[in-house]
Structure 1
Amino acid sequence: MPVELHYENNIAIIRLNRPKARNALNSEMIEKLQEIVSEISELNLRAAIFVGEGKAFCAGADITELLNKTPVEHLHKIQIGQALFQQINELKFPTLASIHSMALGGGLELALACTFRICSPTAGLGLPEIKLGLIPGYGGTQRLPRLIGVSKALEMVVSGKIVSAEEAYNIGLVNQIIEMQDPIASAKEYLDALAIQFPAAIHQIMQAVQSATDLNIHQGLELEAELFVECTQSDDATEGIQAFLEKRSANFSQK
């Protein structure tokens, strides 16, 4: 299968498995990712981890599929990919791209759709579409400036340069650089360090923070207040407050 899914300890592991093509995203992979994301979106998971098989996380879109297409066909293909990555972005639990090597073009756009990104010291990240006379089409021009700022995003997209792990960390493109013998194990360690165990509250945090660039301060504060009230009605909030008052460790139910 070009994309594989399995579950470990309430975490979805999604593996891009087209190593001979450096996991370049073709139509078959996009279709399989749609099925997987739709499946996991119905579950109350702790997190989802995206990894790549072989020498690359994902080298981008499959260039062979760009030839001999009409404008309507190109638009349809782009809209499908955008919708998929937006669905990943809107999942109710955190997502993590564990980048052991190259994440280019659509591969970086997939990572940008995730909540967090970690990479190995030897990873390279970039949006090199300009070198084909194209622009990013799976959300890169929208998510990258929201993450690292307009000036740096323009620099990356206009030049098409591949940034090192160190530069990616310095500009806020990745959350952490980790020595990776196993991208899945490294991803789990990162999630464990974050102590992610409250799916409901995490979802509300993600909603609030991700809306910050789209809403003015008054709208953002209103949303924050609404989401705070939602959290207070959860079983975990009741347990957490009671445990604090009783000076004991909380026993959360993830509800």
Structure 2
Amino acid sequence: GQRVFHKLSLLPMPTVAIVNGFAFGGGLELALACTFRLATENARMALPEIKLGLIPGYGGTQRLPRVVGESRALELIMTGRVVKPEEAERIGLVNRVIKGEPLDSGASFAREFSGFGMLALGYAREAVQRALDLPVSEGLKVEADLSTLAYQTEDAAEGMEAFVAKRNPQFKDY
């Protein structure tokens, strides 16, 4: 499970998990491996492994603190408490609580970033992920390197030309 979820977390394109119902244990760990998490009003999330004398084993102890902070993560992991959508949004466990048809809402959310160049999205995601493991001074070097790579793409040239021409860019992902 860790290997599969780690591969998901490393995908260069953004991923969106839609929690519609129960996401307990591995289900929540799967959602945590995604770039973004959305929850319907009937979603319930928990890492209840402690109630079985276990701990999360598919990345929950590593990803949850990065998403909600150490103290909240410890509380949720050490109590196995169920989190409802409103609290999940308030503590940053989910990006948004959605209404209506879940897949339509998820697609609408994805459209907010899907028109941008995939390379730039990937570089931005990598810079943020790597920042979590580095001091700010080292993270700034990573950001500078990735920004330099982004500037060298055809998509960057297209984006800047479109800005000057006051038109929408047509990214080609290279």
* TM-score of the pair, normalised by structure 2: 0.96
Q: Find 2:152's aligned residue among 229, 233, 248.
A: 233
Structure 1 equivalent of residue 31 of structure 2? 111
Structure 2 equivalent of residue 98 of structure 1? 18
State how far apart, in whole Å, the 2-side matches of 1:87 and 1:113 are.
Answer: 9
1:92 corresponds to which letter in structure 2? P
3-state DSSP class of the match of 2:134?
coil
Identity of aligned residues (%): 47
State how far apart, in whole Å, the 1-side matches of 2:60 and 2:41 are.
Answer: 23
Going from structure 1 to structure 2, the CA distance change for 1:141 and 1:196 (only over 3 Å counts) comes to: farther
Structure 2 equivalent of residue 161 of structure 1? 81
State how far apart, in whole Å, the 2-side matches of 1:107 and 1:129 are.
Answer: 12
State how far apart, in whole Å, the 2-side matches of 1:172 and 1:125 are.
Answer: 13
Which of the two has higher C-alpha Rg? Answer: 1
How much has 1:195 moved relative to structure 2? 4.7
How much has 1:104 moved relative to structure 2? 0.6
Structure 2 equivalent of residue 185 of structure 1? 104
State how far apart, in whole Å, the 2-side matches of 1:134 and 1:252 are.
Answer: 47
For residues 87-113 of structure 1, give each alpha carbon's deviation from its aligned partner in whole angstroms, at most 9, with x where no partner exists. 000001001101111111000000000
How much has 1:184 moved relative to structure 2? 2.0
3-state DSSP class of the match of 1:177?
strand
Structure 1 equivalent of residue 129 of structure 2? 210
How much has 1:254 moved relative to structure 2? 2.3
Gaps of 5+ in 1: 1-80
How much has 1:248 moved relative to structure 2? 2.4
3-state DSSP class of the match of 1:211?
helix
Whether the 8 Å contact between 1:111 and 1:117 is mirrored in structure 2 is yes
How much has 1:233 moved relative to structure 2? 1.1
**Structure that is richer in strand per residue:** 1
**Structure that is richer in helix per residue:** 2
Structure 2 equivalent of residue 243 of structure 1? 162
- Tell which has more relative contact order, 1 or 2 (C-alpha 8 A, sep 6+): 2
1:220 corresponds to which letter in structure 2? G
3-state DSSP class of the match of 1:254?
coil
TM superposition outliers: structure 1 runs of 4+ over 4 Å: none
How much has 1:218 moved relative to structure 2? 1.2
Whether the 8 Å contact between 1:126 and 1:160 is mirrored in structure 2 is yes
Gaps of 5+ in 2: none
State how far apart, in whole Å, the 1-side matches of 2:51 and 2:115 are.
Answer: 39
Whether the 8 Å contact between 1:102 and 1:124 is mirrored in structure 2 is yes
How much has 1:211 moved relative to structure 2? 1.3
State how far apart, in whole Å, the 2-side matches of 1:111 and 1:196 are.
Answer: 23
3-state DSSP class of the match of 1:97?
strand
